[in-house]
Amino acid sequence: MKDEQCVRFLQWALPQLHMRWPGFCKVRKQVCKRVDARMRNLRLAGIDEYEAYLQDHADEWVELDALCRITISRFYRDQGVFVTLQQRVLPALAQQALERGDTRLRVWSAGCGSGEEPYTLAVLWATELQSKFPRLSIDIVATDADPNMMRRAGDACYKFGSLKNMPESWLNRAFELERDNYCLKPEYKRCVQLLEQDIRQERPGRRFDLVLCRNLVFTYFDEALQLEHLKRIVNAMHDGASLVIGIHENLPEGAEGLSVWFDEQRIYRKNNDVVDPQGA
């Protein structure tokens, strides 16, 4: 399929999935390739036939939805975010959790890819902060809708390319070289619980001190869906907890209950007076 055919198709199909075309514009090739493969599987001659097929087969929208998952990630993505988390955000949240009488700092990595984001945090905590907060352990729930991502996160073995931005001392300490893969040592995996969850349908049933929802909801979902999920995320946060979104993302119009904490890094903090009328 030609690029312009794919663009036209995505501009037609994405709004019906409550997704936004601008989020996909730069990364569309990943989706176009998958749609091409899907059409071959279905033995359809071209994109017009696939469009007609979608109109006749409601189930196919579920297939297409899965083809639209953009899975790009890497360790220590957007270094400034992790530096701010290490130096400013996590120490403040840790202090807050201790004052609340908690022994665990609870983190949710939503749309965690193949583990790059939650494992970066696990290594950061173990190497830089654990000794400063000996009475607190970190507990990270990492969710993703894609079963392949979950499987790879479970394996926790990576090519050097996805780790190359990590501080070298962290890399040497936390990973073992197995053939040409860098595999995370088990002691760094233990604090991360992996759950296959579609954020539109379910989320972990607890409250968090820190939520990372980067390069998913606020890039790919349409505005109405963004606002709906933002409310749910805020409800899943303790007062004073922090939300981190992608550095190229913005909160949707009408966002409530959060204040900017570190603007450049897109780090927000939940206000103390947020009341959840539905108790959702």
Ligand X SMILES: C[S@@+](CC[C@H](N)C(=O)[O-])C[C@H]1O[C@@H](n2cnc3c(N)ncnc32)[C@H](O)[C@@H]1O
For the chain, first and last CA: distance in Å?
44
Binding piece for ligand X, criterion CB under 6 A, among 108-116, 118-126, 159-167, 259-267: 108-116
Which DSSP state fits 137?
Answer: E
Binds ligand X (CB under 6 A): choice among 146, 245, 249, 257: 146
The interface with ligand X within residues 3-62 (CB under 6 A) comprises none
Distances (CA, A) of 111 to 36, 101, 214: 25, 29, 7
Count of residues that interact with ligand X, criterion CB under 6 A: 22
- Under the binding rule (CB under 6 A), the answer on residue 69 touching ligand X is yes
Give buried/exposed letters for 166-197 (b at 16+ CB in 10 A, else e).
beeebbeebbeeeeeebbbeeebbebbebeeb
Name 258's Cβ contacts closer than 8 Å, sequence gap at least 6. 234, 243, 251, 268, 269, 270, 271
**In this complex, which beta carbon is closest to ligand X, that of residue 225 or of residue 237?**
225
Token pair for 96 = 């807050």
Binds ligand X (CB under 6 A): choice among 24, 97, 115, 144: 144
Q: List phi, psi (to 5°) of 221.
A: -85, 155
Binds ligand X (CB under 6 A): choice among 28, 77, 106, 238: 77
Cα–Cα distance measured from residue 171 to residue 218, given in angstroms and rounded to the nearest whole number: 30
Binding piece for ligand X, criterion CB under 6 A, among 52-60, 66-74, 89-97, 257-265: 66-74
**In this complex, which beta carbon is closest to ligand X, that of residue 74 or of residue 136?**
74
Strand 181-184 and strand 237-245: the pairing is: unpaired
CB of 96 to ligand X, least distance (A): 24
Binds ligand X (CB under 6 A): choice among 215, 226, 242, 265: 215
Cα–Cα distance measured from residue 81 to residue 20, given in angstroms and rounded to the nearest whole number: 25
- Under the binding rule (CB under 6 A), the answer on residue 216 touching ligand X is yes
Print the binding letters for residues 189-208 with ligand X: x by CB under 6 A, - otherwise.
Answer: ---------xxx--------
- Under the binding rule (CB under 6 A), the answer on residue 226 touching ligand X is no
* Residues near ligand X (CB under 6 A): 69-73, 77, 111-113, 116-117, 144-146, 149, 198-200, 214-216, 246
